[in-house]
Amino acid sequence: MWRITWRRFVRSKLAVVALVYIGIITFIAIAAPLLSRYDPNAVDLIHRLHGPDALHRFGTDELGRDVLTRMMYGARVSLTIAFSATAISLIVGSLLGAVAGYYGGAMDWIVSRLIEIVLCFPFLFLILGIVALFNPSMTTILVALGLTSWTTEARFIRGEFLKVREMDFAQAARASGARDGRIIFRHLLPNALAPVLVAASFGVANAILFESALSFLGLGVAPPMASWGSILSVAEEFIDYAWWLVIFPGMAIFTTVAAFNIVGDRFRDALDPRSE
């Protein structure tokens, strides 16, 4: 199934380009200390708010710090938070959805009501409330995002489990005396992960947006640590004559979010045999 899905996926040149772009951004984030020419927090007031030139390709900010370097390190923060938060939501959502879908009955009712309670709260305000209760930091943000965004994965896994738990291979596993844990994690979960992986791609994109929003509002990572949202936050004050502080981080957020959405959308189509 995965080989067929991959062949369908690569038929879309736009999706392949988006996947390559994600790979490049991830590489830049990992190799930022090796690729950057400057210290991301080095203050140089003599060269403050200089436009892009040969020394500073993306210009400098209000403290003379190299914007390109800070964007490289900001990519580390944004992608670390996005991937970690998505991993947490996948684990929590998959476990709760699997338990609800496999056992049904009272367990399904409890998990379903829990999902509804979480969905009752506006997502951004719920995250803002959690972050405001604790000191804003990378750990706080990724945990807050992960623990508030698991409902989509839980609903997908629950729906898939309700379908696959009655299939022949699941019945055969029960008849062979396999324990519930083995049936869930060895037989059912691998066959129910496809739609969750699609949701995970969209989840990474949403996490990048929410992290950028929190940093823009001053509730993101603590200064002087850079993130794309914090660079944009500074740009608000100098937008009239420091256009590079808006354009470059704004385009980084837009293209990265768009790339993850394109990959998720194409992956969803590749998993659907009706898309042939």
Task: Give 132-176 pLDDT, tens digit per residue.
Answer: 787 777 888 888 888 888 888 898 888 888 888 878 888 888 888
pTM to 2 decimal places: 0.86
Q: What is the pLDDT of residue 275?
A: 53
Task: Give 79-122 pLDDT, tens digit per residue.
Answer: 999 999 999 999 999 999 999 988 888 888 999 999 988 888 87
Task: Give 10-49 pLDDT, tens digit per residue.
Answer: 888 999 999 999 999 999 999 988 988 888 888 888 888 8
Closest CA to 51 of 254, 185, 244: 244
Separation of alpha carbons 19 and 146, rounded Å:
23
221 vs 274 pLDDT, higher one: 221
Q: Which amino acid is at 50?
A: H
For residues 30 and 267, the answer to whether their CB atoms sit within 8 Å is: no
Separation of alpha carbons 210 and 234, rounded Å:
17
Task: Supply the DSSP symbol for 275.
Answer: G
Q: What is the pLDDT of residue 146?
A: 87
Rounded to whole angstroms, what are the CA distances from 27 to 105, 139, 253?
A: 46, 22, 16
Separation of alpha carbons 182 and 232, rounded Å:
48
Question: How many CA atoms within 13 Å lie on the side-chain side of 22?
Answer: 21
Task: Give 134-144 pLDDT, tens digit per residue.
Answer: 777 788 888 88
The mean per-residue pLDDT over the stretch 257-265 comes to: 92
Q: What is the pLDDT of residue 31?
A: 92
Q: Which amino acid is at 251?
A: M
Is the pLDDT assigned to residue 276 strictly greater than 60?
no
For residues 176 and 185, the answer to whether their CB atoms sit within 8 Å is: no
Greatest distance between any 2 Cα atoms in the chain: 76
Q: Rounded mean pLDDT of the chain? A: 86
Task: Give 193-212 pLDDT, tens digit per residue.
Answer: 778 888 888 889 999 998 88
Please, which pLDDT band fits residue 185 given cuts at 50, 70 and 90?
confident
| Domains within the chain, CATH numbers bracketed | 12-30+65-271 (1.10.3720.10)
Q: What is the pLDDT of residue 233?
A: 84
Closest CA to 156 of 199, 125, 114, 212: 199
